[in-house]
Amino acid sequence: MRFRRAQPGTGTLTTDVPVIRMCGVGRTYPGPPPVHALRDVDLEIEPGAYVAITGPSGAGKSTLLNLLGLLDRPSNGTCELDGIDVSRLPERDRSGLRGARIGFVFQSFHLLPHRTALENVMLAEIYNHRPHAARADAAAMALIRVGLAHRIHALPRTLSGGERQRVAIARAVVNMPRLLLCDEPTGNLDSVSTATLLDLLGSLNDLGLTVIVITHDPSVAARARRTISMLDGRVVSDSQVAPDHPHNCTGAHR
């Protein structure tokens, strides 16, 4: 399984273009009183990075996630995805980019209860040009990749929490995105499932996928190579650990 580092033919990408580049980004929710959820954030995330975003409630994590996931537009500043200024693109193009280049993983899985694991993964493909004939195969491949080869036709209610979240990850990566956005991915999981899931995220990152995890949990944040802390809508610290962080070893055997 390969994730695209750059897209040939789109004309704007070179290998060193950051996946995310934010310049002076602010987000103000109109009042009264107006709420400055995000103030003057400058952020660059390189391809292949593994970033944790932490901070207390109200620090602006959700707002940042909204902007990173093209679910909201900044009030000021520019926000680029793969070198494309997405802050002023029409909604249809933003939806297209979201579907093709961003994979989401949520705390509460969001699997459709009446559909099998395979069908849930295929849901990600209906908005993305893939021909009908190729969908089931691609979805099955993604499920095998997350270690669910034996549960392909299982309904979500028969899956454990960890398995459900892995189905959600398969759904997020089936379109080969540039960026995996995880919002408290382990919030509903026990410690064993959490460990398995973090290993999986690490191994995906090893394959070149850019991973951003938003979390309260220090142990989850510890797996990332870069940790961004937020407070009151600002980035208060941005620390990089050495590239040979132990998670590489644990991720390698998966």
Partner 1 sequence: MRGGRTVADQSSYCLRDLATESLAGLAQRPGRSVLTLLGTVLGTGAFVAVLGLAATANGQIGKQFSLLSATTVTVNDVGVPQSSANEGGNAYLDDFPADADMRVDRLNGVMQAGVWWRVQLNESVISTSPYAIAGSQNDNGGLPVYAASAGALRAMRPAVTTGELFGSFDVRNAEPVVVLGAAAASQLGISNLTAEPVVFINGLSFTVVGIISNAQRVTEALSGLIVPTTTAENYFGLPQSIDPPQMVIWTRIGAADQVAAEAPIALRPDDPHVFQAVAPPDRWSIQGKVDAALEELFLSLAGLSLFIGAVGIANTTLIAVLERTGEIGLRRSLGARPGHITAQVLCESGTLGLLGGLIGASLAVLLVIAVALAKQWTAILDPAAALFAPLVGAVLGVLAGLYPAVRASRIEPLEALRS
188 touches 11 (CB < 8 A)? no
Cβ density class 176-213: b for 16+ within 10 Å, e for less: bbbbbbbbbbbebbeeebbbbbbbbbbbbbeeebbbbb
Three-point CA angle 205, 161, 156, nearest 5°: 105
The correct pick among 5, 36, 110, 234 for binding partner 1 (CB under 8 A) is 110
With tokens 């929710």, the residue in question is 29
Does residue 236 bind partner 1 (CB under 8 A)? no
* Gap between the Cα atoms of 142 and 253, Å rounded: 18
Q: Which is nearer to partner 1, 122 or 152 (CB)?
A: 122
Does residue 188 bind partner 1 (CB under 8 A)? no
Residues 114-173 that bind partner 1 (CB under 8 A): 114-115, 123-124, 126-129, 132, 171
**By CB under 8 A, which span of 62-70, 158-166, 199-207, 246-254 interacts with partner 1?**
62-70
Residue type, 203: S
**By CB under 8 A, which span of 64-72, 140-148, 204-212, 220-228 interacts with partner 1?**
64-72
- Strand 210-214 with 179-183, pairing: parallel
The correct pick among 66, 78, 188, 250 for binding partner 1 (CB under 8 A) is 66
Residue type, 166: R
Write phi, then psi, for 102 (nearest 5 degrees). -125, 135
* Gap between the Cα atoms of 100 and 46, Å rounded: 18
Task: Provide the minimum distance between the beta carbon of 180 and partner 1 in the complex, in angstroms, as a whole number.
Answer: 12
The correct pick among 75, 95, 188, 250 for binding partner 1 (CB under 8 A) is 95
Q: Which is nearer to partner 1, 94 or 223 (CB)?
A: 94
Does residue 240 bind partner 1 (CB under 8 A)? no
Task: Provide the minimum distance between the beta carbon of 66 and partner 1 in the complex, in angstroms, as a whole number.
Answer: 5
* DSSP state at residue 210: E
Does residue 57 bind partner 1 (CB under 8 A)? no
Task: Provide the minimum distance between the beta carbon of 22 and partner 1 in the complex, in angstroms, as a whole number.
Answer: 17
Shortest CA distance to 116 belongs to which of 163, 79, 76, 59? 163
Does residue 101 bind partner 1 (CB under 8 A)? yes
The correct pick among 6, 17, 23, 89 for binding partner 1 (CB under 8 A) is 89
Task: Provide the minimum distance between the beta carbon of 12 and partner 1 in the complex, in angstroms, as a whole number.
Answer: 6
